[in-house]
């Protein structure tokens, strides 16, 4: 099994954890923003690692089968994207599997999952290297559209994955040999619950000011603050959601005892009854 990052944060039980995750890996400008934020937080707190769950369709001009999100574009675009992904890995960020083609897989069989996930692994090993210069292998996964089933978990386990972060909810559980980490629910100003993910904030027209308040409420809870964004910039206010989250994280890094582990770091800190 190959560890993804260049190290791990020095965990302290009393230190608040903020875990930043992204779905997507297409836009070079977003890669640069993500990398820059990581470096700024490292300067402030000594360590910061994010988790980016990407699609390997963006590394190729075309491949067999349908893709819900297109392909990689020109050779120049693909080369730039791979270069930035490798740079993020070299800086200690986690790159995880979000499948090849971002298809609806909630009703897939084991064989369908194994084929799609295994093809992604082949692609990652083909274009990326780990910190030791060996072919890259992801250990974490998030399902497109958050659509999953037990056959997916079986396939992940057989392919050497350690965790999945797909189902909504505030939990960590063991299933089919995989640690399943829930995508948490946030509390809105009106007391209702909403998934802690930017697409859902956009769909329900959460303003940047309300998001600031939601982040503060979740930050004060006993659980790590898990924030899930995409490589798309959605907003309902003066700032887009990435900017709100970035400013929140920088503010906490400057003023409080906080750490910024990736999801694989968090996985390694978990104590779950087998």
In a domain, 181, yes or no: yes
Predicted pLDDT at 12: 56
**Separation of alpha carbons 121 and 90, rounded Å:** 18
In a domain, 175, yes or no: yes
**Separation of alpha carbons 243 and 79, rounded Å:** 27
Three-state SS across 134-171? CECCCCEECCHHHCCCHHHHHHHHHCCCCEECCCECCC
In a domain, 159, yes or no: yes
Predicted pLDDT at 206: 98
* SS3 call for 258: strand
Quote the tokens at residue 65. 């089968």
In a domain, 243, yes or no: yes
In sequence order, the 6+-apart residues with CB closer than 8 A to the CB of 92 are 5, 6, 7, 38, 47, 49
In a domain, 5, yes or no: no
Contact 241, 233 (CB under 8 A): yes
Predicted pLDDT at 3: 30
**Separation of alpha carbons 44 and 22, rounded Å:** 22
CB atoms within 10 A of CB 129: 14
Q: What is the mean pLDDT of each run of 10 residues along the chain (274 residues)?
A: 37 82 97 98 98 97 86 96 98 98 97 98 97 96 97 98 97 96 97 98 97 98 96 95 98 97 96 48
In a domain, 8, yes or no: no
**Separation of alpha carbons 63 and 83, rounded Å:** 20
The crossing angle, in degrees rounded to 10, of helices 241-255 and 28-45 is: 10
CA 211 from chain centre, in angstroms, equals: 19
* SS3 call for 24: coil
In a domain, 69, yes or no: yes
DSSP structure class, residue 188 = P
Query: Which domain covers residue 156, as residue numbers?
Result: 16-269
Predicted pLDDT at 271: 67
φ/ψ region of 48 (left if φ > 0, alpha if ψ in -120 to 50, else beta) reads beta
Please report which residue ranges of the chain form alpha helices under DSSP H.
Answer: 28-45, 75-90, 110-127, 150-158, 198-203, 208-219, 241-255, 263-269
The total of structural domains in the chain comes to: 1
Closest-CA residue to 118 (of 137, 132, 131, 103): 137
**Separation of alpha carbons 83 and 128, rounded Å:** 9
Q: What is the CATH number of the domain that holds 115?
A: 3.20.20.370
């Amino acid at each position: 099994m190959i560890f993804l990052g260049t190290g791990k944060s020095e965990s302290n039980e009393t230190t608040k954890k903020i875990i930043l995750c992204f779905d997507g890996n297409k836009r070079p400008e977003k890669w640069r923003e993500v990398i820059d934020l990581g470096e700024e937080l490292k300067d402030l707190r000594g360590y910061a690692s994010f988790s980016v769950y990407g699609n390997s369709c963006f590394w190729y001009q075309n491949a067999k089968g349908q893709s819900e999100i297109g392909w990689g574009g020109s050779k120049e675009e693909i080369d730039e994207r791979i270069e930035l992904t490798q740079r993020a890995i070299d800086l200690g960020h986690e790159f995880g599997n979000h499948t090849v083609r971002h298809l609806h897989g909630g009703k897939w069989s084991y064989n369908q999952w194994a084929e799609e996930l295994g093809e992604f692994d082949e692609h990652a090993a083909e274009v990326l290297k780990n910190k030791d210069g060996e072919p890259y292998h992801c250990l974490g996964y998030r399902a497109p559209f958050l659509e999953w089933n037990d056959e997916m978990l079986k396939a992940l386990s057989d392919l050497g994955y350690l965790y999945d972060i797909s189902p909504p909810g505030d939990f960590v559980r063991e299933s089919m040999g995989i640690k399943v980490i829930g995508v948490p629910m946030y509390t809105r100003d009106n007391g209702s619950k909403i998934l802690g993910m930017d697409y859902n904030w956009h769909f329900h027209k959460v303003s940047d000011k309300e998001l600031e308040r939601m982040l503060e409420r979740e930050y004060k809870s006993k659980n790590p603050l898990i924030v899930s964004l995409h490589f798309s910039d959605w907003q309902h206010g003066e700032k887009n959601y990435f900017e709100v989250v970035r400013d929140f994280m920088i503010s906490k890094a400057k003023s409080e005892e906080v750490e910024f582990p990736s999801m694989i770091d968090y996985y390694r800190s978990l104590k779950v009854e087998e």
